[in-house]
Amino acid sequence: MTGRPIPVREEIRALRAYRLRPEDAPPLRAKLDFNESPFDVPEEIRAEVLGRIAAKRWGRYPEFGAPRLKKAIAEAIDRQPEEIVVGNGSGEVILAAVSVFAGGGSLVLPTPTFSLYGQIAAIAAARIVEVPRTGPDFDVALEAFLAAAAQPGAVPLVCSPNNPTGGVVRREFLERLLEAAPVVLLDQAYVDFAGPGDDALSLLDSRPNLVVFRTLSKAYAAAGFRIGYAVAPPELAREIEKAVLPFSVDLAAEELAVAVLARPDVARAHVGEIVAERGRVAEALTAAGCLVASSSANFLFVRPPGDHAGRVRRALLDRGILVRDMTSVAPGRLRVSIGSRAENDLFLEALAEVL
């Protein structure tokens, strides 16, 4: 050892690492903390995927550039393969895009929003500019956000539907934002649970400065395989792809992605059940005296009576129900993923005991 300090960038040294802490709790009866699908990939698709994986040569790298996967995604969303950038989860392609467009500049965020963006910005050497959301539904402060996004060197990143609040931004706002900023990054990981008018892909036909991010983790129940992608005009897609490491999507993930994208009826059925349950759970929570933000995602942003989010979460955990305490970003708030009907009933029954 030389005694010299290890050269760690200051923004990385100051960063709080993204961690999940083990829970000292009874066996879980309902895991409603991480916005995962309560469903799984159907057995027939699993068998098909396993058969394809078994037939592959595992000692070879996947096909360079993942053309088969890009084609499957493009066909599923009615776009072109040259508009698609794939990665090991949408976080990887968001990191690539932030590095390309905002590295050394600033990333404008309407907060609260997805906590991983802070880590992504630090890695990409981008300064964060926060524009606080407003009102009971945590809406974007439109004029303030537009003004911040129009500053030199600024790149806006908007999550819609937003994690953790569940709200969406409207097309009119996106149009204005695209006029104000040289490039706009739009994370639509949860858009399958929103209305058809909230899908922003059609804006790509007339807007050369839009990048949209998607994932197969939520609606397609493929969180364990880490498959995400960006959709952008070809010239932007080529630049983003430069910042994604080669072969980031492995053989197994590619086979699963191709298989589930070929069966959109399965995802649509699951989404329909989750959306119906979201409405039922929101109504029950409101009747119990909770304040529930309007949600277009697969979760609800909830303020229990008395703002006792931490106490409520711990009491629920004692009963085997795991939800997310969001007090660090919004005092008194919990984020509750929508599970199966049985899981949601367990949650509501336990909450009634706690309140």
Question: Looking at residue 7, what is its pLDDT?
Answer: 82
Asked if the model's pLDDT at residue 223 lies above 60, the reply is yes
CA distance 35 to 31: 9
Helix (H) or strand (E) holding 315: helix 309-318
The answer to which of 162-166, 224-228, 275-279, 308-312 has the lowest mean pLDDT is 308-312
| Residue at token pair 């942003």 | 301
Q: Provide the pLDDT confidence category of residue 1 given band limits of 50, 70 and 90.
A: very low
pLDDT of residue 12: 77
Q: Is the pLDDT of residue 2 over 60?
A: no
Can you point out the beta strands (E) in 283-354?
Answer: 291-292, 299-303, 321-322, 324-325, 334-337
Distance CA(227)–CA(219), nearest Å, equals 12
> Which whole number is the average pLDDT over 167-193?
97
- The whole-number pLDDT of residue 4 equals 76
pLDDT in tens, 62-107: 999 999 999 999 999 999 999 999 999 999 999 999 999 999 999 9
Average pLDDT over residues 202-213: 97
170 pLDDT above the threshold of 60: yes
Nearest-angstrom CA–CA distance, 32 and 38? 9
146 CB contacts (<8 Å, ≥6 apart)? 176, 177, 180
Pairing label, strands 210-215, 184-187: parallel
pLDDT tens digit sequence for 6-64: 787 777 777 776 665 555 556 889 999 999 999 999 999 999 999 999 999 999 999 99
**Which pLDDT value is given to residue 162?**
98
**Domains of the chain: residue spans and CATH:** 10-41+265-354 (3.90.1150.10), 55-262 (3.40.640.10)
Q: Which of 323, 198, 277, 208 is nearest to 39 (CA)?
A: 277
Segment 111-131, tens digit of pLDDT: 999 999 999 999 999 999 999
Please give the pLDDT value at position 150: 96
> How high is the pLDDT of residue 308?
86
For residue 274, give the amino acid letter.
Answer: I
Structure confidence at residue 315 as a pLDDT band (50, 70, 90): very high
Nearest to 273 by CA among 343, 334, 348: 343
Distance (Å) of CA 243 to CA 156, 159, 220: 19, 21, 26
If you search the block for the tokens 């703002």, which residue do you land on? 307
Mean pLDDT for 290-296 is: 97
Query: DSSP strand E in the chain: where?
Result: 30-31, 84-87, 106-111, 127-132, 154-159, 184-187, 210-215, 228-231, 291-292, 299-303, 321-322, 324-325, 334-337
